[in-house]
Amino acid sequence: MRPSTGVTRLVALTGIWLGLASSLPSSGKDDPDVITRDVAIIGGGASGTYAAVRLKQLGQSVVLIEQEDRLGGHTKTYDDNGTPIDYGVWVYANTTEARNFFAYLNIPTTVQNFNRDPGRNQRYDFRTGEFVPPPSGNVTDAMMRYVLLLMQHPYLEDGWDLPDPVPEDLLLSFRDFIEKYDLAAAVETLTLYVQGLGDILDCPTVYIMKYFNMNVVQGIQSGFLRPASFNNSQTYGAAAANLGDDLLLSSTILQMNRSTSDDKVGKESTTGSKTDYPQTILVRTPSGLKTIQASKILITIPPILANLNAFDLDARESHAFAKFRATTYTTSILQITGLPQTIQFVNSGTDTPYNICPVPGTYVLVPTSDPTLRLAFFGGGGGSDADTNSKRGDGDGDGDELPFDTIRHIMTDNVLSLRNAGYDVSVPEIRAYGNHYPFGLRVSAEEIADGFYRDLYGLQGYRGTYYSGAAFHAHNSGALWRFTERVITEYGLAG
């Protein structure tokens, strides 16, 4: 969350005021514009929403700040005349934390198995409309080899607590990993689940394993968890109702004044009340400026420097976050006629290694309950050259974010290429669109080997600030709920 240009002068004027924040009354009970809480949570996606609800359940006072007008982050749902169509988050890992979260919010769930009919997928090069045959070789055997390799690194399920030294296999480019273990036949299956990482073959293998993890393997085998309503936004609506006045939507952080040390903060006095509120946050809300005083802060938004301009980062924090590299990933609902409803169209390159999807491009066109609507998942190129970003030091990934007009143009061309395959497809119209940039935050293999994630996790609790979200674990809501539980208990956010 960064201040808009329209509030630049306001930030300057409030800077002096915030410098005096330590002298403000600690309770704020008599001032409706001062909010005093145990924990201030920044970002209302999967991690932030879970943390807010869970901390309240544990008896902590919280405030959740979200710049959008809704909770859910990557979760997006389109209303097709009363029928929900999820076009962001689809399904969830069937973890204990996920089941408990849904149950606490009174969300009935079901188990969804994906269609395993190999004839359901039709492969074409979306640049030309040329037909591409299915992968050669034994897909099942190749996937079994991958799973056995994945099982050698069980710690990846819990976060980024990597061994020292980091195992060589995890640092290999995915390209070299495929070669080393003869995984060519499994590449299509893996890449259909691992989207949004840009030039995936140049990506360190550890990121593939973090994405296509044992939760995904188990979901493919026995089904994924999902609300029985098939409306993932229902969960976040229930969470918003649970949070009530502890939720600030459409709100922007203008300035932050955090603790300058990593000493434990927010300790209880002998009377059981909080005695120290060293974190002060100025927030612009729809009802005016609010000052938040909190013992601790949990940040769950993508930690790139462009998002953290107002967060009073010190050199240690800036050095870590500047290394991240991001890619473009979007999800859309396209209105298209002329395609058979039961067929999923997969973008396979005729001239790419293992026929992987050419990027930037549309990964797949997925049928929905409406024969005229298709889910379209789109990924940008690049994003693997973290060294470039590290040397540049900006960490904002701006070079990898594709503008909407470019994405729309490429998606349109991708769809219309199927005319060359004999399908009388219409020009697609975008009915819903979700931009998930910055997506897939990562660093180079060299940075990983040098202890990047050890240093990143060393920020947990530093200056009274804690972290969760995909950059600190994985792009998997169920897995993130489990990791956030770890932040709350093991790292001491609720302590």
**Tens of pLDDT along 442-456?**
999 999 999 999 999
Residue 338 and residue 194 in one domain: yes
CA distance to 82, 126, 331, 386, per residue, from 196 (Å)? 30, 17, 10, 15
* Claim to verify: residue 244 and residue 382 sit in the same structural domain: no
Give the end of a domain, one of 397, 418, 437: 437
Instruction: Specify the pLDDT at position 495.
Output: 80
- Cα(138)–Cα(459) distance, integer angstroms: 44
pLDDT digits (tens, 9 = 90+) for 261-283: 654 444 443 334 444 678 999 99
pLDDT category at 259 given cuts 50, 70, 90 is confident
Report whether 51 contacts 233 (CB < 8 A).
no
Token digits for 292?
A: 């938040």
- Domain match, 339 and 419 both: yes
pLDDT digits 0-9 by tens, 115-168: 666 668 999 999 999 999 999 999 999 999 999 999 999 999 999 999 999 999
pLDDT score recorded for residue 260? 78
> How many domains, the chain?
2
Residues 383 and 424 in one domain: yes
Reported as a pLDDT band with limits 50, 70 and 90, residue 30 is low
Q: Is a pLDDT exceeding 50 seen at residue 386?
A: no
Stretch 159-184: mean pLDDT: 98
pLDDT tens-digit readout, 278-334: 899 999 999 999 999 999 999 999 999 999 999 999 999 999 999 999 999 999 999
Of the chain, the percentage scoring pLDDT greater than 90 comes to: 82
Q: How far is CA 57 from CA 70, 100, 237, 244, in A?
A: 21, 12, 17, 14
Tell whether 142 and 258 lie within a shared domain. no
pLDDT surpassing 90 at residue 229: yes
pLDDT over 70 for what percent of the chain?
A: 86
Residue 318 lies in a domain: yes
Which tens digit of pLDDT belongs to each residue from 32-56?
Answer: 899 999 999 999 999 999 999 999 9
Is 1 part of any domain?
A: no
Residues 317 and 360 in one domain: no
Token pair belonging to 145 = 């080899």
Residue 16 lies in a domain: no
Asked whether residue 99 is domain-assigned, the answer is no
pLDDT over threshold 50, residue 186: yes
CB-CB contact of 130 with 420 (8 Å): yes
Same domain flag for 197 and 213:
yes
pLDDT, residue 4, reads 42
- Model's pTM, two decimal places? 0.90
Question: Which run of H or E residues covers position 83?
Answer: strand 83-86
**Domain enclosing residue 299, as ranges:** 33-73+229-264+274-322+445-490
pLDDT tens for 230-241 read 999 999 999 999
Give the per-residue pLDDT at 134.
94
Q: Are residues 330 and 380 in the same domain?
A: yes
The answer to whether residues 278 and 415 belong to one domain is: no
**Is 207 in the same domain as 340?**
yes
Q: Which residue has the tokens 């609800």?
A: 53
pLDDT digits (tens, 9 = 90+) for 326-367: 999 999 999 999 999 999 999 999 999 999 999 999 999 999
Q: How confident is the model at residue 29 (pLDDT cuts 50, 70, 90)?
A: low
